[in-house]
Structure 1
Amino acid sequence: MMALQLDVSLTSAAFRRRVLPWWSVYRSVDGRMPDLILDYTNDAYGLGGQKIAQPIAQARLGPSVVDGRAAGLLVEPQRSNLVARSVARPTWGPVGPVTLTALDEARAGVFPGLLITSGGASWHRAAPGNMTFEAGQSYAMTLWYGQPSAAMMKATLYSTATTPPSNLELQGAAGQLAAVVQNGGQITDIRNDQITDGLYRMRCRFSLSQTVTTTWGFGSGTATAGESVTIYGLQIEEGADATGYILSDGVAVSRGADRYTLAATGWGGLEGGTLALRATPMGAGAAVFASVTDLSGEKITALCRADGEIVLRYGALGSVEEMPTGMNALRDQAVAIALSWSGTALRLTLGGSPVQTAAPIAFGALSELRLYDDDIIAAPAPVQIGRLLHYPMPVSDAALQALSS
């Protein structure tokens, strides 16, 4: 009878192989481990080495499909959708002999669609109802629409309440809307994109020279009877930057500002720390990325100015210093920032750039993390946070650079 001999070498090797903990991917190059992990891109969160549920209350994760879905935590200012009926339906009023047909498409899970068929003039359109636009005020407009049967579509604001009439117009093929008329006002910052197959979005900023009560209307840009456009939804906000969609169905609807805080409980260094974050500014104005506060009220805030330059502000109210970087954040593009503080220096790097150093700061044990700072910017541009890590100690310059690359 032959003896049975087991080869256990492979099995033994498997047992000897060390299984790395889930948080090891966040280890710095000098071996430091974060005590706070907010990874909204990969839906991973940790506190003191333990995996936890997303810890920030009322966090809005998105954007949603209708806003061009992407992973991240949204931080947006207070806004109102001035359009009382933001979902396009036959309850929108006709301007001229147009035919309005309700569709049943459920685009992005929100919009059924409204088919607007021209009677044979380029001014034929449909509109959601009048709004009052104040002179000199910036408004952000977002339009969701489909591929038109017409060679081009047109968006028109027209009012004879002023002399000469106030008239703004955008026109073009799907994904190519451009300003063609600007009488008594301005259209700027036009952005065209395609969210999904057959769903387009146009965002722009407009202002009027005089206060008027009127509306935007939408229809074919040609004079051919029977040509049509499909409109899905409309949002108009008072402010320079368009924000995420606010559903309204009969009355204007407001959304409060996002003011996220996380108390330093179970995380936070005593005499120094490191913060690494990846954030995307989504507006043209000034924006706050993140702010940490110690028990005495001292703050360190990473932000970008209205001109786009990223700076650090640090200190207490009445004694604030600013550390400029000479580097700019670009709208809709993620920027990686890493900063480290101790009693001897405040250090900063962006996108793997050489580390910059500021004077020593008196910054003690952490009190909380904030993803806003009303003391600096009361109505910031929208931001999306992709990832934020905190290490309870300063890291080396090489590690700081790696965290921002």
Structure 2
Amino acid sequence: MFESAEIGHAVDKATFDAVVPELREALLEAQYELKGQGRFPVIILLCGIEGAGKGETVKLLNEWMDPRLIQVSTFDQQTDEELARPPAWRYWRQLPPKGHMGVFFGNWYSQMLQGRVQGHFKNAVLDQAIDAASALERMLCDEGALIFKFWFHLSKKQMKARLKSLQDDPLHSWRISPLDWQQSKTYDKYVRVGERVLRRTSREFAPWYVVEGVDENYRSLTVGQILLDGLQAALKASGQSQVQPHAPPPTPSLDHLSLLDSLDMSQALDKDEYNEQLITEQARLSGLLRDKRMRKHALLAVFEGNDAAGKGGAIRRVTAALDPRLYRIVQVAAPTDEESAQPYLWRFWRHIPARGKFTMFDRSWYGRVLVERVEGFCSPA
């Protein structure tokens, strides 16, 4: 446990002032190199004890580097729009493009930590959230993203001393937020849950850095140096590391028949019978989408297949039965420059329907293992 950790790291002002100019110049140079290469984004996740310096550190980084290339996102209470979609949707929408840096306050770790500390769910749900976070980070790193995760820490004694100092100072008492008081009461549980999360999510592709937050100079230099070292190492890498596929090679069919080869292509319907069945099924679909129980669900349909195989006709038959306000069609073609600057799934996550809505994808994320693979736009890995 590290709740009582009080190492007492400190850097005097003279040393800080002597080191900062060189560090700042190196960070700026690395930031512009990141922009110039445009190979990957940088994602910075900030968590830890309230008052340990998260906000001050980000403010300082914006002073040391070019703030035009840093995107700061804060995730407080979920909006109705966010609540109507899967939890990860709000984070995918805010991902920085390649060549830029994104700072996430109130990120996926903050949500799971607060939820568990406040007793909104048990450890089983927390563990599911931890696994989901690890899977998301693995996916982003496989796409080339560079992720830094910082936990800013204060001991309970240091946190109480900070609160007392601010409370007694009429000029600075406004800096104490309700979350500060809340965390001072739940400190032990917050740190206990935090350690469970850190131990399970610190991985070689996205490790945690625990930074003691008492001394402002030490804290600032530590974060700045970690960012610089990580950026320089990633920028020197010749290219993206290739992800090795984990699946075994496909076993050839013993009877030499594939799934598609086994389809009966002679099946047909009489036109009158087809029209009668079509009207019946369109009516059923329309009634189901208008059912009040649909408000709790979102519907997503994916259409894949060869050109001229009937995808467009099938989509038209579906939409003919529906109120246009209840559905939308997403046509997937070659990615735009904006989409190419983001992780692969970003272009699909942004179109995930809200509860009560229906989205049809005319081609989809399966393109990576279909047309893109066949035409050589992506590697087997």
Range class of TM-score, shorter chain: under 0.3
Structure number with the bigger relative contact order (C-alpha 8 A, sep ≥ 6) is 2
TM (norm. structure 2) is 0.26
Structure whose residues are more often helix by fraction = 2
